């Protein structure tokens, strides 16, 4: 299952009433905007968050995959485009993105983010919504829109909620969260299993071997990676807790030769505390190079 964020604005009301999203195939200048073409990626069962005037106002489930069709509206001269039929669930209390942006910002991808750094929505139509961001939006929606006073329903057990036939919204949220969390858990488990032998089951920097202290550290984070990259054993390095925190927060990086680079934000007098030295080098593999390059370019604090 994939998730997306659609930026609708003035088209929201009509598209909700028609139970769909729709985009043209080509812009008037002959270009093919990525946010229009992305509608072709939507499959049956995918989830879509609807952004209108600064807030997430609905979440929908795709009833079909993408179809080639004219916009079913009062504008008969519209060219054919990409259409997906949806089952809309409008929120009683919308999620104001700006008010929640401190929690949303760290989960936004560097490429194809639906939101700008100032919390405004980006121009475009349909954007990918990675699994970590999906979970955060689901939590925000649940906090604002689920008012359960029944003791059983407070447990949010899917089997219990399903008994309330009139309410499809709560089980849809629960199912979405379960599917997304399962995908992340299985993906990270596969990533770690592949990473362990690449680094001889020990920290690449300090050679600690205690499994409980070792982390499978992503070079290109989950939010920025494709499904293939998320389980690629070379998209990361095995590090102890201390070095993992330094790496994932951009205080250290590795170049294509495996040489350690230390951020200027780390005082030299603290190098010994952190177990790092400028001349350190790790036994990288050739397949690590593009991922190390991405990490150093986008995450390293320099």
Q: Whole-prediction pTM value?
A: 0.89
Q: Are residues 223 and 108 in the same domain?
A: no
**Residue-wise pLDDT tens digits, 28-63:** 888 999 999 999 999 999 999 999 999 999 999 999
CA distance 42 to 67: 10
What are the φ and ψ backbone dihedral angles of 223, each rounded to 5 degrees? -65, -20
Mean pLDDT, the chain, rounded, equals 92
Residue 263 sits in which domain range?
193-298
Q: Please, is 273 exposed, middle or buried when counting C-beta atoms within 10 Å of its C-beta (0-12, 13-18, 19+)?
A: exposed
| Residue 219: predicted pLDDT | 98
With a pLDDT cut of 70, the percent of the chain lying above it is 91
Query: Is residue 138 domain-shared with residue 251, that is, in the same domain?
Result: no
Burial, 60: exposed, middle or buried (Cβ in 10 Å; 0-12, 13-18, 19+)?
Answer: buried
Residue 219 shares a structural domain with residue 88: no
pLDDT at 221 over 50: yes
Instruction: Give Cα 157 distance to the centre of its chain.
Output: 25
Q: Indicate if the pLDDT at residue 152 is higher than 80.
A: no
Higher pLDDT, 220 or 73: 220
pLDDT greater than 60 at residue 238: yes
Q: Which helix (H) or strand (E) holds 13?
A: helix 12-18
Same domain, 129 and 197: no
- Can you give the pLDDT at residue 162? 40
Show Cβ contacts of residue 237 under 8 Å, excluding neighbours closer than 6 positions.
195, 199, 204, 217, 219, 247, 254, 282, 284, 288
CATH of the domain at 82: 3.10.590.10
pLDDT at 147: 66
Cα–Cα distances (Å) from 148 to 56, 154, 162, in that order, read: 21, 6, 14
| 238 is a domain residue | yes
pLDDT of residue 157 exceeding 70: no
Host H or E run for residue 218: strand 214-218
């Amino acid at each position: 299952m994939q998730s997306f964020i659609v930026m609708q604005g003035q088209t929201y009301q009509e598209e909700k009433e028609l139970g769909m999203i729709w985009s043209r195939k080509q812009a008037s200048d002959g270009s093919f905007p990525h946010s229009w073409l992305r509608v072709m990626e939507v499959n049956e069962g995918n989830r879509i968050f609807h952004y209108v005037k600064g807030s997430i106002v609905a979440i929908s489930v795709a009833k079909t995959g993408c179809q080639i069709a004219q916009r079913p509206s009062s504008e008969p001269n519209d060219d054919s485009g990409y259409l997906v039929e949806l089952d809309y669930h409008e929120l009683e209390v919308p999620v104001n993105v700006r008010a929640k942006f401190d929690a949303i910002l760290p989960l936004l991808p560097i490429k194809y983010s639906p939101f700008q750094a100032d919390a405004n929505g980006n121009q475009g139509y349909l954007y990918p919504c990675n699994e970590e961001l999906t979970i955060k939006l689901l939590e925000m929606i649940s906090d604002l829109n689920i008012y359960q006073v029944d003791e059983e329903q407070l447990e949010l057990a899917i089997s219990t909620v399903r008994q309330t036939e009139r309410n499809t919204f709560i089980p849809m949220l629960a199912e979405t969260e379960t599917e997304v969390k399962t995908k992340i858990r299985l993906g990270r488990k596969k990533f770690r299993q592949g990473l362990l032998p690449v680094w001889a089951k020990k920290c690449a920097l300090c050679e600690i071997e205690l499994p409980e202290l070792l982390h499978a550290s992503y070079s290109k984070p989950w939010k920025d990676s494709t499904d293939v990259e998320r389980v690629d054993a070379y998209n990361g390095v095995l590090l102890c807790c201390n070095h993992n925190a330094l790496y994932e927060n951009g205080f250290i990086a590795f170049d294509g030769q495996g040489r350690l680079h230390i951020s200027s934000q780390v005082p030299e007098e603290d190098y010994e505390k952190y177990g790092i030295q400028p001349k350190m080098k790790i036994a990288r593999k050739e397949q690590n190079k593009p991922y190390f390059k991405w990490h150093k370019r986008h995450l390293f604090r320099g």
